[in-house]
Structure 1
Amino acid sequence: MNLLTPILSEILVFELNASGGVTSAKTSTARYSLKDSAIILREIDKEKFDWTKKKNGIALVFITGSDVGSKEYEASGNDAISKIVENENLLWTTHEVGGNRRIDFIRKSTLGGDLDETEAKGLYIAGTTVSRQTDIDMYVALQEFYEKKVSFDLIKKSREFRAFFFDSLFEKIKLPMLLFFFALLFANYVVFSNIKEKYDISETTYNIRLQKNKIETENREKTNRLFSEYNKIQSYPLALISDRIASYMPKDIRLSSMVFFPEKTPAARGKTGSNTTNVIVIRGKAGIAGTVLLFAQYLQEDKLFSKVDIININNLKDTGSYDFEIDIIL
């Protein structure tokens, strides 16, 4: 069996028996089973068979019976044989058995509607065998067809057989190809999911590390700035500065807070404070606004402080007092 045979799908086999002017028909399907290493022949009911599935199908026709004529001949060029071969109204097949040659033939009209019905199926007739013998071994005949006629040359020459061959090939590889692509897609999904999971973990780890480094950097900068500012005034202890400020406070002033070296200073006179070097922020309350001005004047006269700014004085109408904020720059 050649390499192409296992690829082919089922072919149709029409057996027409013409005897005594009556034609009987039998329809079967045949395929080569690679598993059984044999040809599987199965008779079908042509009335119930779905012919639409055989759009590009091929068929073999076997014609037997007593109405088949037969003539022996010895060599080519015989006029009687030529007349049979050249007659378009005849179907014929040559046979050679034991060195004896003969040609079996039958008129197409003898077969009546059975032949027309076979041709009307739209099938490609890959071979027609006419034989006076009624005991044709179908398995042997099909074996001969598969071995001798099915070839790459037939695929090249016959458009119909080529279509049938590629349809058969597609049916054979359709499921394996679908399974292959499904496995490929599944493998791609697994690999992609694994890569994405690792990427997400790496990205999360990176963001956490980045945030941690940012916080550490900010804390380090704050610490360095604090030590830097403290080193600038290390000759003046904070306790001494606090006592010096307290000594200038008028009697009706009460301090609510004293902040050394704040990170930011509030806006003063429409300008945003950005330089907090050696700044001390004092907040408190006073009975009259003039007391705040006097307090600021006392502080400004002290050579320990390079500059004193009154940031704001607000009149608290509900309490009849004033709150204030003063910035002292060392």
Structure 2
Amino acid sequence: MSTPSSRHWGLEQIVAELRASREELHRTRHPRGIRELPSREAIVGIVNGLRAAMFPTHYGAPDLTDETVDYYVGHTLETTLRLLCEQVRRALRFLPEHAQTSELELVERAFEITRALGTELPRIRALLVSDIQAAFAGDPAAQHITEILLCYPGVLAVMHHRLAHALHRLGVPLLARFINEIAHSATGIDIHPGAQIGASFFIDHGTGVVIGETAVIGERVRLYQAVTLGAKSFPSGSDGALVKGHARHPIVEDDVVIYAGATILGRVTIGRGAVIGGNVWLTHSVAPGASISQGNVREGGRNDEPETGKRGRK
């Protein structure tokens, strides 16, 4: 009886057919050939480093003191931004506008983007603190800020999103998407890095939340699990391909609460202070201050007569 090592696997034929699939029949490679890909492992480390720099006593070294914390933050940022710069360089190569950019120019552009992100970290931290405070104020089960920072998946997802959105605006969409998908895998919360989200944002429980690319969310908005802010339709061009980038997701104004399982689709506006009840399906705008439940959704029309009633709390 022949041993496995002595059998012929037909590797020559398999390798040849895989090459034909890659190069001719089912090509997925970048049109300019093999490119260095961003590293998921490196990006996880970068996000962890940026979190540690912004919140060193929660995500940093366990033995920090008032005398050592600034040194730790500086050292962590130096290491992390160097790693980020390399990942930005790799990601930029996949943009059509950089297909012909020289390697020297690409390195310089990556440095400029990374430096710009570094300067935004204090602003991002301020936004995150507002999100953490919103979580503490909005969840009666929360005991203290440390619990929120270490345990709440909604805060983890929003932390990734704040960083990813900054990179998205700086012109590195591939890297931004990488960061959000890392959080998506860890939390079940799917936020596209293009979504614009105001201060004091809180996702309670979180699993199953979906926020689309062109969604605009105001300040002091609270979502519960399984909420979808999605697109109603996907228009295509004359060639049949989907039209990219047009505004197709909801606008949610300030002080809105959206309860578990609600689905809001299309470029509709949820007015300031509105409350959207659980499992509601909405494809039309809602007036400011309205309270919408399954029983009072009017299919296809605008709710211009706000319902009265107290806003529910957990």
- Highest CA radius of gyration, 1 or 2? 1
Q: Same fold (TM over 0.5)?
A: no
Identify the structure with bigger relative contact order (alpha carbons < 8 Å, sequence gap 6+).
1
Q: What TM-score comes out, normalization by structure 1 length?
A: 0.18
Q: What TM-score comes out, normalization by structure 2 length?
A: 0.18
